[in-house]
């Protein structure tokens, strides 16, 4: 492509020449393929039903799974993905997810909607892009089922308790939800956002909400 000649491609993580995301950085991403908490997907020493992170909490999603640990490299990759909205990065993220996770047992994919006030991000909402790429890989339809209330405070910099309060009632469904839904987001940090989105889907009739994210914060 002509553009490649004008702007030589650089790896979004290490800055190396040649590829948007180089093989070395790809190999260094930590896939979450070991034992995890059955419920929230936190890596654990051995398989458990609930873990320290999620036990005692009422969470509306059935399971949450992520492909990679949200470490420095994953942060850079997701950062570039969000800021530049490169379609190729959505494809790369989806391929990694597809390589690590089995297709969840549900027939409809949906995604966490971007904040309506952030026009730039809405133009390339990574969650939506990832859902559409996964829909292609898993041959599942992608349906926009959720809307976000405008004007909510951002999650960054808040404590865990504040995050949960901040997102309560943040989402509502645009219509009836199918019984089983895969809910896609780019990153699982505290789980508060996907839990709030899952609550809205449950209120709209979903019985099972399977959360899939590209990356997950590991405490």
Going residue by residue from 13 to 32, which x/- string records binding to Zn ion, judged by CB under 5 A? xx-x-----x--x-------
Output 117-120 pairs: Cβ under 8 A, ≥24 positions apart. Answer: 117/150, 117/151
Of the pair 54, 200, the CB lying nearest Zn ion is at: 54
Of the pair 40, 74, the CB lying nearest Zn ion is at: 40
Listed ranges 3-11, 115-123, 136-144, 191-199: which one lies at the site for Zn ion (CB under 5 A): 3-11
CB of 75 to Zn ion, least distance (A): 14
SS percent in the chain: helix, strand, coil, step 5: 35, 20, 45
Instruction: Give how far Cα 209 sits from Cα of 134, 171, 198, 199, Å.
Output: 16, 15, 6, 9
**Contact between 51 and Zn ion (CB under 5 A)?**
yes
**Contact between 145 and Zn ion (CB under 5 A)?**
no
CB of 37 to Zn ion, least distance (A): 3
Of the pair 78, 131, the CB lying nearest Zn ion is at: 78
Residue of 29, 32, 40, 146 interacting with Zn ion (CB under 5 A): 40
Q: What residues contact 53, with CB distance under 8 A and at least 6 apart?
A: 37, 40, 42, 191, 219
Encoded tokens for 167: 């997102």
Phi first, then psi: what are they for 180, rounded to 5°? -125, 130
**Contact between 160 and Zn ion (CB under 5 A)?**
no
Q: What residues contact 27, with CB distance under 8 A and at least 6 apart?
A: none
CB of 45 to Zn ion, least distance (A): 13
**Contact between 161 and Zn ion (CB under 5 A)?**
no
Of the pair 40, 112, the CB lying nearest Zn ion is at: 40
**Contact between 218 and Zn ion (CB under 5 A)?**
no
**Contact between 39 and Zn ion (CB under 5 A)?**
yes
Segment 54-83, which members bind Zn ion (CB under 5 A)? 54
**Contact between 201 and Zn ion (CB under 5 A)?**
no
3 state DSSP class of 211: strand
Residues facing residue 14 across a β-bridge: none
Encoded tokens for 79: 């950062």
What is the C-alpha separation between 217 and 219, in angstroms, rounded?
A: 6
Number of other residues whose CB lies within 10 A of the CB of residue 9: 16
Residues that bind Zn ion (CB under 5 A): 11, 13-14, 16, 22, 25, 37, 39-40, 42, 51, 53-54
């Amino acid at each position: 492509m002509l553009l490649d000649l004008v702007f030589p491609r650089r790896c979004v993580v290490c800055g190396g020449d040649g590829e948007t995301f180089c093989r070395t950085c790809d190999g260094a991403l930590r896939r979450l393929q070991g034992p995890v908490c059955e419920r929230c997907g936190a890596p654990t020493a051995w398989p458990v039903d609930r873990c320290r992170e999620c036990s005692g909490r009422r969470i509306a999603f059935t399971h949450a799974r992520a492909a990679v640990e949200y470490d420095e490299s994953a942060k850079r990759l997701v950062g570039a993905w969000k800021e530049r909205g490169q379609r190729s990065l959505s494809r790369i993220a989806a391929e990694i997810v597809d390589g690590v996770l089995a297709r969840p047992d549900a027939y409809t994919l949906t995604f966490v909607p971007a904040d309506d006030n952030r026009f730039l991000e809405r133009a390339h909402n990574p969650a939506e892009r990832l859902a559409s790429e996964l829909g292609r890989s898993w041959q599942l339809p992608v349906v926009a089922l959720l809307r976000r209330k405008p004007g909510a405070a951002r999650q960054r910099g808040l404590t865990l308790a504040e995050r949960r309060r901040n997102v309560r009632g943040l989402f509502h469904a645009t219509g009836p939800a199918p019984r089983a839904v895969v809910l896609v987001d780019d990153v699982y940090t505290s789980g508060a956002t996907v839990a709030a989105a899952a609550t809205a889907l449950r209120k709209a009739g979903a019985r099972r909400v399977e959360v899939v994210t590209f990356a997950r914060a590991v405490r």
